[in-house]
Structure 1
Amino acid sequence: MSYSNQSQTNITVGLQYQVSLGLLLSSMLTTLSCCVFLFINVTLLFTLRSKPVFCETSRYILLFNLLLADTMQIAEGQLMYIIAACRIMLSYPVCGVLIMLVNVVSDISPLTLVVMCLERFVAVCYPLRHAAIITVRNTGVAVCVVWAFSLLNVFIQVLLMLKFPFAELESLQMDDFCGKDNMMFDPVAADYDNAYNCFLFVSVGVAIVFSYIGVMIAARSASTDKASVRKARNTLLLHLVQLGLSLSSTVYNPLLFFISKYDSVILSRIHTVIYVCFIILPRCLSALIYGLRDQTIRPVLMYNLCCQRFSPLHSVIQTKAKIGKLVT
């Protein structure tokens, strides 16, 4: 009997060691990848504020806002992932603050995509009025409206959350991991969150499709620049893909809640795969796509990423300097 108990104890210890090792490795890998993408995103954010052309062009201002929200989501998502992977139990107030911060920036991306689509729509369909409509001032107002709309949603969620009688609890310490679903105490709050997400993504999808149809109709006009229309059409399709990726992140919390009920090495790996696919990748594509696709951003971005060395722009600057010395 003692030998059987000892064997069972050894098996249990071995499984716990494998789970702990798997969590450690997955946390290290995801943290490393997050650091890489954060470095790229922060560099692109710096790039978009390093030149006057980026600060005075509406589409680059909107791209900065989109990238800022994605960067904040990556950082907050990694923090929440480490907390969940390590099974750290937070208090309800701390978890509530973290969830609200995540909710604020998660709405910024789809709302900014709407403004970016409308900007492309005006540029193609009303090229003569584009400079008068899409100004830096109007773009700043649109960005403020986007943030105000997101903050209003969070404010309503906080009010619904405060309806729960926390004073009747024996302790404010949570007995489960910190997740959005675990903070939905009232069925009304859950219904509101589902209705808001449906309204948000349907509205954004309709706006993108409407802009795409408008651009395609404008493409039939003989006076329209075909190259500009083609570029705008590809941009709108890219925004539609970004919207789909943003929508996929809404299923992360339910999947995480389901996986957290089990303890095994395989399920912890599944957790890591889901996190990378639904949280990290959608948030890093903006920097990779726009940074490499835009001919104006690319050389400056490569110049900054390479620490101002080994980039095409650096080579051009060196060449001009050498020519200037030869002339003098």
Structure 2
Amino acid sequence: MNDQVIIVQILVGIFLCINSMLIATFFTKEIFYTNMRYILFVTTLFSDSVYLIISNLLLNLSYFAVPVQSWSCIFFCLLSSLCNYVTPLTLTAMSLERYVAVCMPLRHAELCTAGRALQGILIIHSLSIIPYIVVLIIFFSSVTFSFFTQHIICSMDALILHRWQGHVRSAISQFYFLIMCILIAFSYVQIIKVAKAASGNNKESTQKGLRTVIFHAFQLLLCLIQLWTPFIEAAVLQTNFSLPVYTNIRYINYILFNLSSRCLSPLIYGLRDETFLLALKHCTETSADFQGCRSRLF
């Protein structure tokens, strides 16, 4: 165990604790689980939490060179890939929800209901699983049955047996993120148009929606850069750099583009939203009072 591994465990633990508090707060008031904006928000929290757990597990297995059975690796990669796409797709849906709220306020209550939110989540998860299904189809056509009885060092790269398979996966990812970038840019431009024409309280609400879309765009950018990290690491590995340099690059990529992009959701909707922040404070105070009573009793 070195300092890098310990730092990652601390950061993952902190993010999971914050997400757990926010998820618990979500279920404390009816306004949260009947509002499309908050339902999408808690979807990102669940997705980010699962992704942090799975990616941290795979990171530790890889670091300590612990082999796992191939079927287990496929399952872990399935969850990781699913959550990897759920977050940016949900961010796109949240940006579109802000677009409807700002640009079509009279239709917002009709279009952005809890039922529509659940339908959107189903669509998001269906779209998120498609890239991995394509990777699996190509993978199953390239291996024999004996591969599934082997033990391997688990990573997504272990399922990419040929370079062209990696190109197919990358092309699908780039297509997804191109569409998401276009939708977020569309929301941003339309909200800007409304912001120029708005005045008074309406302008303040529009500016807040504009800042939210900007945060989503930045978070999506980090997710997009994350797609390029395997190519950067592969290029470094093929050069004359030593193994410690390669390990340090992987560590920096994981901190900057895996962990940091997952910690922005609590900031954007958990701490910037006044209603949610007040509920979080109340939930924290109630929990502290409960702990104090229990300590006095026992």
Q: TM-score when scaled to structure 2?
A: 0.86
Matched, 1:118 2:114: no
Find the aligned partners of 2:71 and 2:242 in 1 and give their Cα distance: 27
How far the C-alpha of 1:25 sits from its partner, in A, is 3.0
Seen in structure 2, the aligned counterparts of structure 1 residues 113 and 49 have a Cα distance that, compared at 3 Å, is same
Deviation at 1:214, TM superposition (A): 0.8
Structure 2 residue aligned with 1:75? 53
Residues 117-173 of structure 1 show CA distances to partners (whole Å, capped at 9, x for unaligned) of 111111111111111111111111111110111123322222121112223669723
> 2:193, 2:157 → 1: CA distance?
43
Partner of 2:179: 203
| CA deviation after TM superposition for structure 1 residue 197, in Å | 0.7
The structure number with the bigger radius of gyration is 1
2:135 aligned counterpart, secondary structure? helix
SS of 1:185's equivalent in the other structure is coil
Question: Which is worse superposed, 48-57 or 259-268?
Answer: 259-268
What is the distance in 2 between the residues matched to 1:49 and 1:252? 36
Distance 1:306 1:288 in 2: 20
CA gap 1:222/1:252 in 2 versus in 1, 3 angstroms? closer
Amino acid at match of 1:86: F
Give ranges in structure 1 of 5+ residues lacking alignment.
1-22, 311-328
Query: Which residue of the other structure, out of 179, 184, 189, is the alignment partner of 2:165?
Result: 189
How far the C-alpha of 1:57 sits from its partner, in A, is 0.9
Residue 259 to residue 308, structure 1, CA distance change in 2 (3 Å): farther
Provide the rounded CA distance (Å) in 1 between the counterparts of 2:199 and 2:6: 55
Report the Cα distance in structure 1 between the residues aligned to 2:286 and 2:2, rounded to whole angstroms: 31
Indicate the SS of the match to 1:308: helix
Picking from 4, 17, 24, the partner of 1:39 is 17
Question: Structure 1's 220 and 162: CA in aligned 2 closer, same or farther, altered over 3 A?
Answer: same
Counterpart pick for 1:49 among 27, 31, 36? 27
Q: Which aligned pairs between 1:199-238 and structure 2 lie closer than 5 A? A: 199-222=175-198, 225-238=202-215
Cα separation, 1, equivalents of 2:148 and 2:71: 14
Higher mean Cα deviation, 129-138 or 299-308?
299-308
Contact 1:160 1:186 in 2 (8 A): no
Q: Name the structure 1 match of 2:217.
A: 240
Give the CA deviation at 1:94: 2.3
When the two chains are superposed, the root-mean-square deviation of aligned CA atoms in Å is: 2.5
Distance 1:307 1:250 in 2: 41
* CA offset digits 1:89-110 (Å, max 9, x no partner): 3333222221121111100011
1:161 and 1:186 in contact (8 A); partners too: no
Instruction: Determine if the alignment matches structure 1 residue 272 to structure 2 residue 255.
Output: no
Partner of residue 166, structure 1: 144
2:267 aligned partner: 288
Displacement of 1:236: 0.7
The answer to whether the Cα contact below 8 Å between 1:181 and 1:254 also exists between their aligned partners in 2 is no
How many equivalent pairs are there?
Answer: 286
**What is aligned with 1:142?**
120
Output the amino acid matched with 1:180.
M
CA change 1:78–1:258 in 2 (3 A) is farther
SS in 1 for 2:68: coil
Q: Which amino acid aligns with 2:145?
A: A
Which piece of structure 1 moves more, 292-301 or 221-230? 221-230
Q: Is the 8 A contact 1:89 1:178 kept in 2?
A: yes
For 2:107, which of 121, 129, 133 is the aligned residue? 129
With over 3 angstroms needed to count, the CA separation of the structure-2 counterparts of 1:303 and 1:81, relative to structure 1, is farther
* Distance in 2, Cα, partners of 1:159 & 1:129: 42
Q: Partners in 2 of 1:89 and 1:212 — Cα distance? A: 46
Of stretches 89-98 and 301-310 in structure 1, the one that deviates more from structure 2 is 301-310
Matched to 2:280, the amino acid is L
Q: 1:322 — aligned with what?
A: none
The corresponding residue for 2:280 is: 301
Distance 2:148 2:87 in 1: 39
Q: How high is the TM-score relative to the length of structure 1?
A: 0.79
Range with greater deviation from structure 2 (117-126 or 94-103) = 94-103
